[in-house]
A and B are shown apart, each in its own frame.
Chain A
Amino acid sequence: MSPAQHYVEHYRTLALPGRHLPWLRRLREEAQSRFSEAGFPSPREEEWKYTNVSALEKKLFVPSVGTPTAVADTSALARLRLEDAWSLVFVDGIYSAEHSVTDGLPEGVIATSLANALERYPDRIEGLFNQAVPQDAHGFIAFTIAYFRDGAFVHLPPGKILDKPLQVIHFSTRPDGLSVARNLVALEQNAEATVVETYAGTGDLSYLTASVTEISVGENAGLEHYKLQSETVKGYHFGGIYAREARSARFRQHHLAFGGLLARTEIHAHLGLGAECELDGLFLATGRRHLDTQTLIHHRAPCGTSRETYRGIAADRARGVFSGRIVVHPDAQKTDAEMSNRNLLLSEDAEIDSKPQLEIHADDVKCAHGVTVGQLDPEAVFYLESRGVDEPTARNMLTFAFANEMVEKIRPSSLNRLVQDELLSSLPQSDIRKDWL
């Protein structure tokens, strides 16, 4: 049985949400047949050249059946929680009301599970679902359409402002488990929110999480969106964040990746007239991890501004991939786009492939990009050693410093602390004392 057939079999018996909606049934069937034919993407596809997911095909992950599992290791979940935030928690891909906190949301704001929203607001979902993903979607996206069990649905009516972050936690607890999620975040005009997606799992379980988030930022609305990918050391992760920005919208995305054995996140943004987009990101790949980030910014209308700042670190035998593509369409005059990507290799066996691509089809634009891949400065290491700091600690201090400039861009303070902790515990030889903090 091929892996695709395996999943088709498994899901035949599962009650997937939204069966009563013809438009969704049709989408699911189409996606299912596409996935059955093509399976997961292969390295022959240009955009998957550096990330070979064939290992996934040898493993057969199993979706959880029935009601949400109780989280046995509540401390692992508690550690990820932001203080003073609303939350939607998904355990093994299924919404857990028990672990979620949604009371006190402003009037008219919806934050619930997609399964629930498909019952209550099917028309609204129909207008948003699958609108932001790329049309020539690859196997993972088809997979999520065909088999999503749940996901977050967040909707802000015009002018509504969330004064606290809303955290969406996807937490995996089952060996060889499979979680497939579709999340929708929609801000109507002039609305503002901070949304934090967090992905993690228990212990060192192996599992697969595939989660696609579609974002719609309305006219003059502002979304600050964070993603912390902290999957287990044997976890597989595919994530996609696809955003559409209306006129004068502001979208700020910050992607922080420390976990997973094989993890990829795609971040796409489509900018309307005068829209602003800021993409920041940091990955730290240790051990034998493979962390891949693919960004794509489409300037589709005039006067858009994009700023992209990514940093990557690879240690041990790990591999990092960064692809940053910016497309300025013919109508997008007066576009102002900058991209910078700095990478740090901490060992001879580590590898980082960085691929910036500018495609400019308009003439009156400002575009700049810069990429570096380097090592720790031996002069700086010696300077610290000459002050009594041993070499591993000196290297950690310098690595932390390099990464921390990205952590400092995180505005919610509780998330800032959480990410700093993740970073420190992910550093090579993280057991050494951090008495310099």
Chain B
Amino acid sequence: MLKIENLHVRVDDTPILKGISLDIKPGEVHAIMGPNGSGKSTLSHVLAGRAGYEVTAGTVSYLGRSLLEMKPEERAREGVFLAFQYPVEIAGVSNIYLLKAALNAIRKHKGLSEVDAMDFLKLVKEKIKAVNLDEQFLYRGVNEGFSGGEKKRNEILQMAVLEPRLCILDETDSGLDIDALRLVAEGVNSLRSPDRSFILVTHYQRLLNYIKPDCVHVLAYGRIVKSGDASLALELEKKGYGWVDQLVSVGA
């Protein structure tokens, strides 16, 4: 599904990612853990196509195509979805307009007709119930005045409606109470399927109590310093991020 090879990324002449390689097969869930500032959001943004990042080396292949050559909206239409760590507030564009615009853009790309208004409303109402947001959130500006947790659940709502192939969740679990965390985990688990993959960027192990990852990678200083199975997350939790520094100095 996604193959990242030796990815180097700079921001304003500062190297941030220094040779990332990842191979994510269809149906797999990969967790990326690491201390603040290690480059997790940078990786997520580069995959989604945000401007301002300079790729100095490496390749990213997504479903056999070169992802980095695609425009952000093209990536989205091809099934890449990023749940942002800090979703932006957009006054005046209602949530439901955005969902409709996004869904129609994807449908058009697939050669399908515009979604029927009634079907759409039914779909959206069903999905919003699943993330436990009131229906009135559909008619508010995108994330406008939403609490931190509501913004995160709104990202999951969009993901559930758009049914992407590759879901990247950038610290969607941060700042959530245990009930909201469960809702997010259920949102992910209900979407798991053999042809859909996930990258879960997280700071804490606790999300992984609810979503069992196939692989766990530890990112530090722009490099993946260790990869393993689900037990690596537990080990990291026990030993703390100080252990990562040891790994780095050993590796260096």
- State which of B97, B104, B162 has its C-beta within 8 Å of the C-beta of A397: B97
Q: A391–B71 Cα gap in the complex (Å)?
A: 10
> What is the size category of the interface that chain A forms with chain B?
20 to 34
Q: A385–B71 Cα gap in the complex (Å)?
A: 9
- State which of A385, A393, A402 has its C-beta within 8 Å of the C-beta of B72: A385
Chain A residue, CB-CB nearest to B84 = A383
Residues of A within 8 A of B178 (CB): none
In B32-49, the 8 Å CB interface with A consists of: 48-49
Q: A390–B104 Cα gap in the complex (Å)?
A: 12
Q: Does A380 contact B (CB under 8 A)?
A: yes
The answer to whether A398 and B76 touch across the interface, beta carbons within 8 angstroms, is: no
Q: A212–B224 Cα gap in the complex (Å)?
A: 71
Q: Does A421 contact B (CB under 8 A)?
A: no
Q: Does B123 contact A (CB under 8 A)?
A: no
Count how many chain B residues have C-beta atoms less than 8 Å from C-beta atoms of the other chain. Answer: 33
Q: Does A405 contact B (CB under 8 A)?
A: yes
The answer to whether A383 and B101 touch across the interface, beta carbons within 8 angstroms, is: no
Q: Chain A at the B interface: mostly helix, strand, loop or mixed?
A: helix
Q: Does A377 contact B (CB under 8 A)?
A: yes
Q: Does A348 contact B (CB under 8 A)?
A: no
Residues of A within 8 A of B98 (CB): 384, 387, 389, 397, 436
The answer to whether A383 and B71 touch across the interface, beta carbons within 8 angstroms, is: no
**Nearest CB in chain B: distance from A317 CB, A:** 25
Residues of B within 8 A of A398 (CB): 90, 92-93
- State which of A385, A394, A401, A436 has its C-beta within 8 Å of the C-beta of B91: A401
Q: A380–B90 Cα gap in the complex (Å)?
A: 7
Q: A120–B114 Cα gap in the complex (Å)?
A: 59
Residues of A within 8 A of B106 (CB): 388
Q: Does B250 contact A (CB under 8 A)?
A: no
Q: Does B206 contact A (CB under 8 A)?
A: no
**Nearest CB in chain B: distance from A433 CB, A:** 8
The answer to whether B102 and A383 touch across the interface, beta carbons within 8 angstroms, is: no
On whether A389 and B87 interact (CB within 8 A), knowing A405-B92, A435-B104, A436-B98, the answer reads no
**Nearest CB in chain B: distance from A69 CB, A:** 41
Q: Does B109 contact A (CB under 8 A)?
A: yes
**Nearest CB in chain A: distance from B186 CB, A:** 22
Q: A383–B102 Cα gap in the complex (Å)?
A: 11
Q: A435–B101 Cα gap in the complex (Å)?
A: 6
The answer to whether B51 and A404 touch across the interface, beta carbons within 8 angstroms, is: no
On whether A389 and B102 interact (CB within 8 A), knowing A379-B88, A437-B97, the answer reads yes
On whether A390 and B88 interact (CB within 8 A), knowing A382-B50, A382-B72, A401-B93, the answer reads no
The answer to whether A388 and B93 touch across the interface, beta carbons within 8 angstroms, is: no
Q: Does B82 contact A (CB under 8 A)?
A: yes
- State which of B48, B104, B114, B141 has its C-beta within 8 Å of the C-beta of A386: B48
On whether A383 and B88 interact (CB within 8 A), knowing A391-B73, A397-B97, the answer reads yes
Q: Does A378 contact B (CB under 8 A)?
A: yes
The answer to whether B97 and A402 touch across the interface, beta carbons within 8 angstroms, is: no
Residues of A within 8 A of B72 (CB): 382, 385-386
Residues of B within 8 A of A394 (CB): 73
Q: B residues touching A (Cβ–Cβ < 8 Å)?
A: 48-51, 71-73, 75-77, 81-82, 84, 87-88, 90-93, 97-98, 100-102, 104-106, 109, 114, 141-142, 158, 162
Q: A residues touching B (Cβ–Cβ < 8 Å)?
A: 377-380, 382-391, 393-394, 397-398, 400-402, 404-405, 435-437
Q: List 22 A-B contacts (CB under 8 A).
A: A378-B51, A386-B73, A386-B75, A386-B76, A386-B82, A387-B162, A388-B101, A388-B102, A388-B162, A389-B73, A391-B73, A393-B101, A397-B98, A397-B101, A398-B92, A401-B90, A401-B91, A405-B91, A405-B92, A435-B104, A436-B97, A437-B97
List 20 other contacts, CB 8 Å, given A388-B76, A437-B97: A382-B51, A383-B84, A383-B87, A383-B88, A385-B73, A386-B72, A386-B75, A386-B82, A387-B76, A387-B162, A388-B77, A389-B102, A391-B71, A400-B93, A401-B90, A401-B93, A404-B92, A405-B91, A436-B93, A436-B101
